[in-house]
Amino acid sequence: MSLGALRRGLGNSLVQAFLVVIGLIWLTPLAGLLLSSLRSAEDTARGGWWTTFTSPGQLSFDNYAALLENAGITRAFWNTVLISVPTTVLVVVIAALAGYAFAWLDFPGRDTLFLLVVALLVVPVQIGLLPVAKLFGQLGLFGTIPGVVLFHVSYGLPFAVFLLRNYFAEIPKEMLEAARMDGGTEWRIFTRLVLPVGRPALASLAIFQFLWVWNDMLVALLFADSSSQPLTVELQSQIRQFGSNIDVLAPGAFLSLIVPVVVFFAFQRHFVQGVMAGSVK
């Protein structure tokens, strides 16, 4: 082995060691949450979660069993589902329709309107809170799940329309013209040609949007009342007593994060693409 190779080998093991340390640092907080969620309140008061390494007898699923009995938490979990699934479907459908029109249909003001959509990409959610709250108050939507969904859909649309319009615009012109020659209506072309071709973009968008809404706290904090609030808000309301209720907060937080994490591992590629594309928000 030459000296250079030796040095490279040594350098490489240093790199490996460094990355292992970084990996452990990244894993530790998560391990802390998981192990804390499996310990009783008494054990938590007595010592840190790392004591489970030496006395694993502390670990049990009792907290999770208690969580399933906790009406506030279970309702909040279902509210999260009832908010994020319809939002995702609506955003994808509405944005696909608009994206196709912006890409391939002709109507007055099309290009100006699309530039407006691009401009709206970075508008912070905060600026909409107060006016929309007033509006929803008048419409009777304030404090309801449909209200939360409508708000999310509106603020998800600029990015969704932008993404899908750009993707649809890449569809070869000949394909669409051939379909029109065959006498297909726009609706037929949209459902039979554009949607199937756009599947990868639709999937990335759906995953990104689902994640965004599932994890939201700010919007629901304002627009949901105690009967329509999602898991994030329910847990947030209990954080004031942090320290005395880790046996509720830790499993609750784990419940809230396991869904997106499973989605992440199941759809890695779409997930990364969606998050990358969506980061312009």
Per DSSP, the residues of 61-119 read SHHHHHHHH-HHHHHHHHHHHHHHHHHHHHHHHHHHHHHHHHHH---TTHHHHHHHHHH
For residues 88 and 213, the answer to whether their CB atoms sit within 8 Å is yes
Q: Which of 101, 104, 201, 94 is nearest to 156 (CA)?
A: 94
- Which one of residues 211, 223, 228, 229 is an interface residue with another protein (CB under 8 A)? 211
Q: Total residues at the site for another protein (CB under 8 A)?
A: 101
**Residue 210 engages another protein in binding (rule: CB under 8 A):** no
DSSP character at residue 45: H
67 vs 117, beta carbon nearer another protein? 117
The nearer residue to another protein, 139 or 178, going by C-beta atoms, is 139
Minimum distance, C-beta of residue 71 to another protein, in the bound complex (Å): 20
Residues 139-198 that bind another protein (CB under 8 A): 150-151, 153-155, 157-158, 161, 186-187, 190
Among positions 82, 85, 89, 113, the unique one binding another protein when judged by CB under 8 A? 113
| Residues in 213-242 that interact with another protein by CB under 8 A | 214-218, 221-222, 232, 235-236, 239-240, 242
CB atoms within 10 A of CB 27: 10
| Sign of the C-alpha dihedral computed for residues 213, 214, 216 and 217 taken in this order | positive
In the window 40-99, what residues touch another protein (CB under 8 A)? 44, 46-50, 94-95, 97-98
Residue from 246, 239, 240, 242 nearest 49 by CA? 246
Among 119, 188, 199, 227, binds another protein (CB under 8 A): 119
**Binder of another protein out of 10, 65, 66, 130 (CB under 8 A):** 130
CB of 18 to another protein, least distance (A): 7
CA distance 184 to 155: 33
Minimum CB separation of residue 131 from another protein in Å reads 4
- Residue 18 or 61: the one with the smaller Cβ distance to another protein is 18
- Regarding 2 and contact with another protein (CB under 8 A), the answer is no
Side-chain-side CA neighbours of 139 within 13 Å: the count stands at: 14
16 near another protein, judged by CB under 8 A:
yes
